A and B are shown apart, each in its own frame.
Chain A
Amino acid sequence: MKSENYIKLEFPSRSVNESFARSAAAAFAAQLDPTLEEVGDIKTAVSEAVTNTIVHGYPDSIGKVTLRARIMGGGRIEIVVKDWGRGIEDVSKAREPLFTTGGEERSGMGFTIMESFMDKLHVRSSPGHGTTVTMVKAIKPKKLGR
């Protein structure tokens, strides 16, 4: 699939980078002229994906996280968050609402929120090797006011 524009960021899995990552994704998405609600959806989904790399990918260490985003045809944005951490044993279990291994500080709603705020969510994980979360959202074209 041809991409029209892209960014790639790499950062360590420190929680202070959660807000940086979602703001960067939102700033990149701005070229599609999204509504405030669409920007909020992208920020939220990126925040969930990046938090997962920190809490679940690298629970006892600091590791590498990458955030890639690209503009595709038809006003769509694809966002890929990748870690090389612990991985997920059972992806379909992890995607169930309220399921968490993160204790009472986590709600188990991360994947549910990514799913409902983005149009597509794909999770690929290999235990011991890491997790890749790919999300796509179509930004609705705005009517030109005259």
Chain B
Amino acid sequence: MKIIEKYSSGRLVLRMSGELDHHDARAAMRTIDGLIDEYLPRDAVLDMSGLTFMDSSGIALILKVERRMREIGGRAFIENPAKQPLRVIDASGIDRMIPIREEHA
């Protein structure tokens, strides 16, 4: 999995691409933690449009990012999840804890 970050005026967009499973999750979380610590954003946006596969390891990662953002007084969002990640998000019920947005550029 690859993460590309973009930061502007309080908003950190993390564009995730490839596959996210247990094998990749620890490194992905380390990368995201590092970026949140570096920018201390108001909003952290997990852009999942390029994520071709995600399992419940992704759910744990999303919940961890959400918790970390709350700790620093910010918010986390999921943006444009691809179909398969969205099915996993729906099945897990975490859409009650973190907003999912469809942004059409």
Contact = CB atoms under 8 A, between A and B. Distances in A.
Contact of A48 (B55, B84, B93): B55
A113 B23 contact: no
B72 interface: no
B91 interface: yes
Interface in A64-112: 97, 104-107, 109-110, 112
B26 A113 contact: no
A41 B88 CA distance: 9
A44 interface: yes
Interface stretch (B8-16, B32-40, B41-49, B58-66): B58-66
Interface string A8-47: 0000000110110010000000000000110011011001
A3 interface: no
Contacts of B64: 104
A102 to B, nearest CB: 8
Contacts of A116: 91
B23 A107 contact: no
A105 B26 contact: yes
Interface in B66-105: 83-84, 87-88, 91-93
Contacts of A54: 22
A107 B21 contact: no
B91 A106 contact: no
Contacts of A117: 87, 91
A138 interface: no
Given A113-B55, A117-B91, A105 B23 contact: no
Contacts of B26: 105
Interface of A: 15-16, 18-19, 22, 36-37, 40-41, 43-44, 47-48, 51, 54-55, 97, 104-107, 109-110, 112-113, 116-117
Interface of B: 19, 21-23, 25-26, 29, 53, 55-57, 59-60, 63-64, 83-84, 87-88, 91-93
> Which are the 4 A-B pairs with shortest beta-carbon distances?
A15-B23, A107-B59, A40-B84, A107-B60
Given A51-B55, A109-B92, 18 more contacts: A15-B21, A16-B23, A36-B83, A37-B84, A44-B53, A44-B87, A44-B88, A47-B22, A47-B53, A51-B21, A54-B22, A107-B57, A107-B59, A107-B92, A112-B91, A112-B92, A113-B88, A116-B91
